[in-house]
C-alpha cells in the first residue's frame, strides 16, 4: 500500500512527536486537536522540538522548514478523510479512544489502517468500536519520540497480517525499529518498566534511600540515562498511575498496585515535569 498522507489524532506530547518524525520522513501530516488553543500548543511543541534538533545539529534549518510545511493542523476529524494511515494519540481513556475510532471508521475509507499509540489499553477493546478490526493495531512510540528508536507493534486477535506488515513498513520508514508484542497489558516495555518504576517509588516512600540516591544508583549503577524518579516525572505520574491501575485490574498482582504516595501526588496535581512539580521541582 502506498502511504503518503498520515493522519494523527491528538497533538500532545506523543502526538506532536509522531507528527514531527512523520513530517521529517517526508510524509504529509494532518494533526487533529480538540480546539484551536490545544492545536496551537501542539504545533508549538513540534516547532520547539525541531528547533532543538537544529540547535543540536541533527536537522538542517531548510529541512526543518520543509518538514513544518508538510504539517497541517485541524480541529475537524473529518479532515482525515484523505489520510492513508492514521495514528491516534489522545488521552489514555477507553471511552475517549472508542469515540475517536468510531469517528475515524466513519470518516476514513475502509482500506485505511487505523492505529493507536495506547500504552496500556486493550487493542481489541479499541478496535471493537470499528467495523474493520482486521485493520486496527497498536503502534506504540516512546517519549521523546524523535529520539527513541523503538516502536511496539501490537496486533489484536482480529488484526490481519497485511495490516501488521504495512505498519512495520511505515515504522521502518521513520527510521525506527519495530518489535511485535501480543495485545496484553503494557505490551513489552511498560509491562517491565512500570513495575520497576512503581518499585522505585515504594523504595522512596518507605524511606529506604533518598530521592537523589535512588536516581544516582540506577544511573551510575545500571547505566540508565535517567533514574527512576526522574523518569517517572518525565513520563508523567498520572500516566504511570493509569497504566498501573490497568495492570492491577487485569492481573490482580500487588506489585502493580499504585503506591499510596503516587496516588496522593496525582490527586494533588503533582504530575511531574508537565505541572512543574513531581518528585523534583521544575521551572
What lies within 8 Å, CB to CB, of 281 at 6+ separation is none
DSSP run (H or E) holding 254:
none
148 binds ligand 3HC, rule: CB under 6 A: yes
Residue showing the smallest CB distance to ligand 3HC in the complex:
119
Residue 119 annotated among the catalytic residues of the structure: yes
Residue 140 annotated among the catalytic residues of the structure: yes
The span from the CA of 236 to the CA of 265, in Å, is: 11
Place of cell 488484526: 159
> Minimum Å distance from CB 163 to ligand 3HC?
21
Task: Give the residue, chosen from 69, 147, 157, 208, that forms a contact with ligand 3HC under the rule CB under 6 A.
Answer: 147
In the chain, where do the E strands start and end? 5-9, 28-32, 71-74, 85-88, 113-116, 136-141, 150-155, 177-180
Give the footprint of ligand 3HC on residues 232-261 (CB under 6 A): 235, 239
Residue 117 annotated among the catalytic residues of the structure: no
- In the complex with ligand 3HC, which residue's Cβ is closer, 119 or 159? 119
Task: Give the residue, chosen from 143, 219, 263, 275, that forms a contact with ligand 3HC under the rule CB under 6 A.
Answer: 143
Task: Give the residue, chosen from 79, 98, 144, 250, that forms a contact with ligand 3HC under the rule CB under 6 A.
Answer: 144
Helix axes 189-205, 237-251, angle to 10 degrees: 110
The span from the CA of 120 to the CA of 72, in Å, is: 29
The span from the CA of 129 to the CA of 175, in Å, is: 31
- Check residue 176 and report its DSSP letter: P
The span from the CA of 60 to the CA of 107, in Å, is: 36
Selecting among 20, 152, 232, 242, the annotated active-site residue is: 152
> Minimum Å distance from CB 63 to ligand 3HC?
11
Selecting among 119, 120, 122, 156, the annotated active-site residue is: 119
- In the complex with ligand 3HC, which residue's Cβ is closer, 33 or 92? 92
Per DSSP, the residues of 64-108 read HHHHHHTEEEES-GGGGTT-SEEEE---S-HHHHHHHHHHHHHHS
Task: Give the residue, chosen from 109, 221, 225, 252, that forms a contact with ligand 3HC under the rule CB under 6 A.
Answer: 225
Give the footprint of ligand 3HC on residues 158-197 (CB under 6 A): 190, 193
> Minimum Å distance from CB 54 to ligand 3HC?
9
Residue 223 annotated among the catalytic residues of the structure: no
The span from the CA of 94 to the CA of 122, in Å, is: 9
130 binds ligand 3HC, rule: CB under 6 A: no
Binding site for ligand 3HC (CB under 6 A): 49, 52-53, 56, 58, 119, 142-144, 146-148, 190, 193, 225-226, 231, 235, 239
Residue numbers annotated as active site: 119, 140, 152, 190
Amino acid at each position: 500500500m502506498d502511504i503518503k498522507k498520515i493522519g494523527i489524532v491528538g497533538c500532545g506530547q506523543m502526538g506532536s512527536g509522531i507528527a514531527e518524525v512523520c513530517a521529517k520522513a517526508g510524509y504529509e501530516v494532518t494533526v487533529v486537536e480538540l480546539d484551536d488553543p490545544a492545536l496551537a500548543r501542539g504545533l508549538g511543541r513540534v516547532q520547539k522540538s525541531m528547533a532543538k534538533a537544529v540547535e543540536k545539529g541533527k536537522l538542517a534549518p531548510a529541512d526543518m522548514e520543509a518538514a513544518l510545511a508538510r504539517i497541517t493542523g485541524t480541529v475537524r476529524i473529518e479532515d482525515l478523510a484523505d489520510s492513508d494511515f492514521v495514528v491516534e494519540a489522545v488521552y489514555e481513556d477507553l471511552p475517549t479512544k472508542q469515540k475517536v475510532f468510531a469517528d475515524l471508521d466513519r470518516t476514513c475509507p475502509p482500506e485505511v489502517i487505523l492505529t493507536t499509540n495506547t500504552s496500556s489499553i486493550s487493542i481489541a477493546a479499541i478496535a471493537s468500536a470499528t467495523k474493520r478490526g482486521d485493520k486496527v493495531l497498536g503502534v506504540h512510540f516512546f517519549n521523546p519520540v524523535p529520539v527513541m528508536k523503538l516502536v511496539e507493534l501490537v496486533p489484536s486477535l482480529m488484526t490481519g497480517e497485511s495490516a501488521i506488515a504495512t505498519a512495520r513498513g511505515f515504522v521502518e520508514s521513520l527510521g525506527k525499529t519495530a518489535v511485535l508484542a501480543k495485545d496484553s497489558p503494557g505490551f513489552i516495555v511498560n509491562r517491565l518498566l512500570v513495575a520497576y518504576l512503581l518499585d522505585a517509588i515504594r523504595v522512596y516512600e518507605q524511606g529506604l534511600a533518598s530521592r537523589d540516591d535512588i536516581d544516582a544508583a540506577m544511573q551510575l549503577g545500571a547505566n540508565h540515562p535517567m533514574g527512576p524518579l526522574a523518569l517517572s516525572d518525565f513520563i508523567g505520574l498520572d500516566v504511570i498511575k493509569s497504566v498501573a491501575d490497568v495492570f492491577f485490574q487485569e492481573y490482580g498482582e500487588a506489585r502493580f498496585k499504585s503506591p499510596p504516595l503516587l496516588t496522593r501526588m496525582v490527586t494533588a496535581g503533582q504530575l511531574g515535569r508537565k505541572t512543574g512539580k513531581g518528585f523534583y521541582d521544575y521551572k
